[in-house]
């Protein structure tokens, strides 16, 4: 078993990785959750590793304070007398952790002889005993092989059309993905980088906050068949430009241009790009710029659209279908098409269930994780729980940082009423996609089910902030309004919650996802059973088996589960579905 367990929130994954690398270089055996095996339940493995570790290093941050998992791990470590605390910012520790020594690593660049780092090592060595003392500083300096760290800020959209932002975001994400394939480089995640989108940025401050050595920023201007990209690599400590470049190319050269940007960054940092890493960077999944552009548009609809609005899914489906017509070998487009078809099938009873598209995606690219999450959804709806879990575990092994995969894992756990695992996956998914109000709302629901009122309020604040941003962009986004209402109700703003309900039902009365979320808020927080049942009536009169089985498991409806009116709705829906072709019955 490992000597040291590292606990951290997703936003500080890069810093936690740097801490882990430093301790490994000093000879310690480290474990953190990026090493979770695919064949065992996460919670079980974490509990086992936490119990067996001789020291538990907790990386505190603002996000860690909101994480039930970090709080729980810190509590257990404190109770066992093996807690070592550190932080990279000015986060105020909660009681009783504020009474325990905490090393301040703000601005730490990896110097093994820094006073704050020696404080961390001293605490660890004391817990591990004499044998746990690290080697001499000279030996450490000779053996340490530190990774450079970089943050790729979202490239600014300089196109005349604001709607082209999907393209600049896509370019930024692909550069992050490309650089992440370089083993000698530590790359900040998309979510951590995109938190700075649209903000005035002090680059050295960003570098300190994220504990990276370099920052890459740039802009994208797309017009007609041409694209102009500017990029500059900045030394995070000195704010000096290492290089700056501008490219004016035809859109047909977009893939070569992305490769050139990534390889220029690697060369500027004086890193060696291994042959397999160069090959991985150059693998785009398609050779067609037109198919790629359509995929990026579909992806934007997926991450920011109106969940529950059939038009959203149909737009994604049309875009992906056209992308696969242009390039039938484009696995990522087939995978996204599979998700849209699956949603239309389970939410609206459409005939095409998405499984053929998922299988096609895997045939074209066996390393894609997302089609396995699609297959898990189907298996779960069929009551084949063990097989669904196995598919999710495959997906997590292939890409543990995938938003879609963690969302799917959260859904499977939620439907099993395993809310501890569900909140873990949903929290991670919410952290991977900064605009996603839906998953933040599911985190809130899970915390409510677990009886964690403070956790529910934290999640409600995140949900409300994201939902309000979405509504400001599109006031007809009924799904965002639905989640905003549940958040407002949780935060005690009942008058505003009811006002939003009234307004939304006038704007988008047929959004079933919105009506359902209103009913949950009315049941749990607003204690208005009659109004909740009135909203659920139209939904159950045309629901699919998926909606019906979800309602049977959803803890938000537990308070009305024994109400004869609710039971009558369930029974009527079951009878209607049994006599129709809306879907096959599944285990509830």
Better pLDDT: 63 or 331: 331
The whole-number pLDDT of residue 38 equals 45
Distance of CA 52 to the CA centre of its chain: 29
DSSP code of 435?
T
For 527: left if phi > 0, alpha if psi spans -120 to 50, otherwise beta; the answer is left
Task: Answer whether the bond into residue 96 is a cis peptide, omega within 30°.
Answer: yes
Of 514, 502, 430, 444, nearest in space to 477 by CA: 514
Average pLDDT over residues 385-407: 89
Mean pLDDT of the chain: 83
Lowest-pLDDT choice from 242-251, 345-354, 565-574: 345-354
> Is the predicted pLDDT of residue 483 greater than 60, yes or no?
yes
Helix (H) or strand (E) holding 219: strand 214-223
Q: What is the pLDDT of residues 297-342, one digit of tens each?
A: 998 888 766 665 678 889 999 999 999 999 999 999 999 999 999 9
Q: Identify which of 185, 187, 129, 241 has the alpha carbon closest to the alpha carbon of residue 13.
A: 187
Q: What is the percent of the chain where pLDDT is above 90?
A: 20
CATH homologous superfamily of 4-143 equals Toll/interleukin-1 receptor homology (TIR) domain (3.40.50.10140)
Could you give the CA distance from residue 73 to residue 175 in angstroms, rounded to a whole number? 34
Residue spans of alpha helices (H) in 399-474: 403-415, 419-432, 437-449, 453-473
pLDDT tier at 2, thresholds 50, 70, 90? low
Q: Quick check: 43 and 420 in contact, CB under 8 A?
A: yes
What residue ranges do the domains of the chain occupy? 4-143, 148-284, 437-588
Q: CATH topology of 4-143 equal to that of 437-588? A: no
Q: Is the pLDDT of residue 583 over 50?
A: no
Q: Which residue has the tokens 């906050």?
A: 209
The CATH number for 437-588, chosen from 1.25.40, 3.30.70, 1.10.10, 1.10.3470, is 1.25.40
pLDDT at 305: 62
Cα 354 to chain centroid, rounded: 23
In the prediction, which pLDDT does 237 show? Answer: 80
Q: How confident is the model at residue 135 (pLDDT cuts 50, 70, 90)?
A: very low
Least confident of 27-41, 60-74, 119-133, 473-487: 27-41
Residue 137: pLDDT over 50: no
pLDDT at 139: 36
In SS3 terms, 134-198 reads as: CCCHHHHHHHCCCCEEEEECCCEECCCCHHHHHHHHHHHHHHHHHHHCCCCEEECCHHHHHCCCC
Rounded Cα–Cα distance for residues 372 and 379 (Å): 10
Residue keyed to tokens 């299988």: 359
Q: In angstroms, what CA-CA distances link 197 with 173, 186, 193, 302, 320?
A: 13, 20, 8, 19, 27
- Which tokens go with 494? 């009942």
Torsion of CA 435, 441, 446, 452, to 10 degrees: 100
Q: Residue 137: CB partners within 8 Å, gap ≥ 6?
A: 112, 113
Question: Is residue 224 within 8 Å of 205, Cβ to Cβ?
Answer: no
Q: Which of 265-279, 543-557, 573-587 has the lowest mean pLDDT?
A: 573-587
Dist. CA 315–CA 321, nearest whole Å: 10
pLDDT at 172 over 50: yes
In this structure, what token pair is assigned to residue 424?
């873990």
Measured in Å, how far apart are the chain's first and last C-alpha atoms? 40
Which pLDDT score, from 0 to 100, does residue 145 have? 40
At residue 586, the pLDDT reads 44
Across the range 262-285, mean pLDDT stands at 82
> Which superfamily does 148-284 belong to?
TolB, N-terminal domain (3.40.50.10070)
* 147 pLDDT tier (thresholds 50, 70, 90): low
- Give residue 136's pLDDT: 40
Choose among 222, 228, 195: nearest CA to 210.
195
Instruction: Write down the pTM of the prediction.
Output: 0.64
Residue 242's SS3 state is strand
Structure tokens at 127: 């817990």
* pLDDT at residue 521, as a whole number: 84
Residue 84, helix vs strand vs coil: strand
Q: How far apart are CA 253 and CA 451, in angstroms?
A: 54
What confidence category does residue 141 fall into, taking pLDDT thresholds of 50, 70 and 90? Answer: very low
Which 3 state secondary structure label does DSSP give 309? coil
Buried b (16+ CB within 10 A) or exposed e, 368-379: bbbbbbbbbbbb
**Is the per-residue pLDDT at 296 higher than 80?**
yes
What is the residue whose two structure tokens read 């309020």? 457
> Which range, 44-53, 99-108, 385-394, 571-580, has the best average confidence (pLDDT)?
385-394
DSSP 343-387: HHHHHH--S--SHHHHHHHHHH-TT-SHHHHHHHHHHHHTT-HHH
Please choose, from the candidates 41, 97, 15, 93, the residue with its C-alpha nearest in 3D space to the C-alpha of residue 424. 41
Q: State the pLDDT confidence band at 138, using cuts at 50, 70 and 90.
A: very low
Q: How far apart are CA 110 and CA 122, in angstroms?
A: 16
Distant-in-sequence, close-in-space partners of 479: CB < 8 Å, separation ≥ 6: 306, 307, 308, 309, 437, 438, 511, 513, 514, 517
SS3 586: coil
């Amino acid at each position: 078993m490992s000597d040291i367990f590292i606990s951290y929130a997703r936003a500080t994954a890069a810093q936690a990785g740097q801490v882990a690398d430093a301790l490994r270089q000093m000879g310690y055996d480290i474990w953190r959750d990026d090493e979770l095996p695919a064949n065992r339940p996460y919670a079980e493995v974490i509990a086992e590793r936490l119990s067996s570790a001789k020291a538990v290093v907790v990386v505190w941050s603002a996000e860690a304070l909101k994480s039930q998992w970090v709080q729980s791990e810190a509590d257990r470590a404190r109770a066992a007398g093996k807690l070592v605390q550190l932080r990279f910012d000015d986060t105020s520790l909660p009681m009783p952790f504020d009474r325990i020594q905490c090393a301040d690593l703000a601005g730490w660049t990896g110097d093994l002889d820094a006073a704050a780092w020696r404080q961390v090592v001293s605490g660890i060595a004391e817990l591990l005993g004499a044998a746990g003392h690290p080697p001499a500083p000279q030996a450490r300096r000779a053996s340490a092989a530190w990774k450079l760290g970089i943050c790729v800020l979202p490239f600014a959209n300089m196109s005349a059309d604001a709607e082209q932002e999907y393209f600049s975001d896509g370019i930024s994400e692909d550069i992050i993905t490309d650089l992440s394939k370089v083993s000698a480089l530590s790359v900040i995640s998309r979510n951590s980088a995109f938190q700075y989108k649209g903000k005035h940025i002090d680059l050295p401050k960003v570098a300190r906050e994220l504990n990276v050595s370099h920052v890459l920023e740039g802009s994208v201007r797309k017009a007609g068949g041409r694209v102009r990209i500017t990029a500059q690599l900045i030394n995070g400590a000195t704010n000096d430009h290492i290089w700056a470049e501008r490219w004016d190319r035809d859109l047909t050269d977009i893939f070569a241009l992305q490769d050139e940007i990534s390889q220029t960054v690697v060369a500027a940092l004086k890193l060696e790009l291994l042959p397999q890493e160069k090959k991985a960077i150059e693998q785009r999944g398609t050779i067609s710029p037109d198919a790629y552009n359509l995929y990026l548009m579909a992806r934007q609809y997926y991450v920011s659209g109106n969940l529950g609005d059939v038009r959203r899914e149909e737009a994604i489906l049309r875009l992906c279908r056209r992308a696969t017509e242009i390039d039938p070998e484009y696995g990522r487009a087939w995978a996204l098409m599979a998700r849209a078809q699956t949603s239309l099938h389970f939410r609206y009873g459409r005939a095409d269930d998405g499984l053929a598209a998922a299988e096609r995606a895997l045939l074209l690219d066996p390393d894609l994780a997302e089609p396995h999450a699609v297959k898990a959804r189907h298996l779960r709806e069929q009551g084949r729980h063990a097989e669904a879990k196995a598919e999710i575990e495959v997906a997590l092994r292939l890409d543990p940082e995938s938003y879609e995969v963690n969302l799917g894992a959260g859904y499977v756990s939620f439907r099993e009423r395993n809310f501890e695992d569900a909140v873990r996956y949903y929290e991670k998914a919410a952290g991977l996609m900064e605009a996603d109000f839906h998953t933040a709302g599911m985190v809130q629901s899970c915390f409510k089910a677990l009886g964690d009122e403070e956790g529910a309020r934290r999640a409600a604040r995140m949900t409300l902030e994201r939902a309000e941003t979405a509504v400001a962009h599109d006031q007809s986004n009924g799904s965002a309004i639905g989640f905003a209402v549940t958040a407002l109700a949780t935060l005690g703003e009942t008058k505003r919650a009811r006002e939003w309900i009234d307004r939304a039902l006038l704007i988008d009365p047929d959004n079933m996802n919105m009506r359902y979320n209103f009913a949950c808020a009315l049941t749990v927080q607003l204690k208005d059973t009659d109004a909740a049942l009135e909203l659920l009536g139209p939904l159950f009169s045309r629901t699919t088996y998926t909606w019906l089985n979800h309602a049977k498991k959803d803890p938000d409806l537990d308070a009305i589960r024994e109400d004869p009116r609710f039971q009558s709705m369930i029974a009527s829906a079951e009878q209607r579905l049994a006599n129709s072709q809306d879907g096959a019955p599944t285990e509830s």
